[in-house]
Amino acid sequence: MEKKSVLPFAAAGGLGTKVVIIIVAGLVLLIPLHLVLGVIQERAERAQEVTREIAGKWSGPQTLRGPLLLLPADRVNPNNPQGGPMQRTYVLLPDSFTATAETATETRSRGIFDAEIYTAKLRLSGSFSEASFERVPVDDGWRLRPDLATLVLGLGDPGGVQEDVSLDWGGQAVDAEPGVPAGFLNLEGLHWPVQAFAGRGEDAFEVQMTLRGSAALSLLPVGRQNNLKIAGNWRSPSFDGSALPQAQEVGGPGFSAEWRVSHLSHTLPQRWSSFDPPPSDWQDAVVGVMFLDPVDFYRLSERSVKYGALFIALTFLVLFLFEVLLGVAIHPVQYLLVGAALVLFFLNLVAFAEVVGFAAAYMLSATVVAGIISLYAAAILKRWRRAGLLFSVTAALYGLLFLVLRMEEAALLSGSLVLLAALALTMYATRNIDWSGFARVPAPPPGRAGGKAEDAPA
């Protein structure tokens, strides 16, 4: 019959007390871990603030809404025939709309913080048909004035417009004017005074412009049929908006994406008047691309801190198993010092990442902290081999965390498997322990662990 080992504690009460002390030490370390999380969030907010400052001097995210055709209408005021006429404005969206955007993205830095900015060369074209004009729901007594029409283009940040922006309207060049002369649209941007539906059957338009922006570029599919294309040199785009592109290529020198959108896929009306409630889903219908850093180390660092409690628990478990299996007494203060080193890993991670990038910072911080813990463990565990084992366990934990951070979609599955594996190994390692034992088993003399002499650290 297999003989059971006896716990290396003076009494069962000693075991319970030690376990409680270890748990309390782990809970105490959650306080500095939470403070480190606050530091990371503060640095992330500072980085966003710098990004907004750079964008303020360059230009912010751009969303193009339009072009839209404004058709004024007037009528005699029946309550005051001698007074001025009543006025309203009808908004007409194009029958077809094509937009192409070629973006050149670059990174601007301020100190250790970076921001992505871009310059886009835009070509917007389409047409308004006379049949659509005839379907404008004009009430009795009102007279449309297409000769006083205005083409408007809403922009997310008009400060990003570069050079003069000309409009080709039915073969005629029209210069742009600042602002959108229709307050009910709640838009900022440009407008062009045009003469619409002057016996041409349809009015074709083309706008070419250079626009600066940052972070994102979005287009509103305003036509009945829309073909929207965005391309650029950014290698890690994130496609955003109400629909994913029907065709996309990412890799090599950059990306390209194409959306083909029908007006039936959103609730934006093709025509309405200033007396109607304004559309509420401008932003809901847009499509576009976000120029984000593919490795957001603040987000990754924040996620890694959330695994800090798991790190502390598993490392303390290994130290506790050394006590149980090898008869080595480890003081609670020593547990706290090892835990403090684990906490400092996360602070060093974000500090180094701001300078050398996340991957290099992770490797550097993990190596330094694992080395410090192992050298300290060599002294408290009295064996270099045991310290090497602790180094291997710590390095494996850091390696697993790095993989979990990379596998965002499978993070929960990976974390649960790590916990299950730790529990299984603990159960296997302690399968012969007599947890109810009271006698203290003396620790094996130095040099006889495993039947082979081993040098203790100086």
CB 86 within 8 A of CB 76: yes
pLDDT of residue 215 exceeding 80 = yes
Query: In this structure, are 309 and 265 located in the same domain?
Result: no
pLDDT in tens, 38-60: 888 888 888 888 877 877 788 88
Query: In this structure, are 325 and 405 located in the same domain?
Result: yes
CATH code, domain carrying 147: 2.60.40
Query: In this structure, are 245 and 367 located in the same domain?
Result: no
What pLDDT shows up at residue 124?
Answer: 93
Query: In this structure, are 224 and 121 located in the same domain?
Result: yes
Q: Which one of 47-51, 162-166, 239-243, 330-334 scores highest in mean pLDDT?
A: 330-334
Q: Is residue 458 part of a domain?
A: no
Q: Is residue 56 part of a domain?
A: no
Matching residue, tokens 């310059």:
119
* The last residue of a domain, from among 265, 294, 323: 294
Local structure of 346: helix, strand or coil: helix
Query: In this structure, are 277 and 374 located in the same domain?
Result: no
Query: In this structure, are 36 and 148 located in the same domain?
Result: no
Check: pTM over 0.75? Answer yes or no: no
Local structure of 409: helix, strand or coil: helix
Q: Is residue 51 part of a domain?
A: no
327: left (phi over 0), alpha (psi -120 to 50) or beta: left
pLDDT of residue 404 exceeding 70 = yes
Distance from C-alpha of 272 to C-alpha of 90, rounded to nearest angstrom: 6
User: Which range (23-37, 62-76, 313-327, 400-414) has the least confidence?
Assistant: 400-414
Distance from C-alpha of 120 to C-alpha of 100, rounded to nearest angstrom: 10
Q: Is residue 169 part of a domain?
A: yes
User: Which range (83-92, 93-102, 300-309) has the least confidence?
Assistant: 83-92
Domain around 99: 61-294
Distance from C-alpha of 136 to C-alpha of 145, rounded to nearest angstrom: 12
Distance from C-alpha of 72 to C-alpha of 181, rounded to nearest angstrom: 11
What pLDDT shows up at residue 82?
Answer: 65
CB 99 within 8 A of CB 229: yes
Strands 62-75 and 143-144: antiparallel
Tell me the average pLDDT across 359-385: 86
What pLDDT shows up at residue 98?
Answer: 93
Please give the tally of structural domains in the chain.
2
User: Can the peptide bond before residue 279 be classed as cis, meaning omega within 30 degrees of 0?
Assistant: no
Q: Is 411 exposed, middle or buried (0-12, 13-18, 19+ CB in 10 A)?
A: middle
What's at 267, amino acid-wise? T
Q: Is residue 85 part of a domain?
A: yes
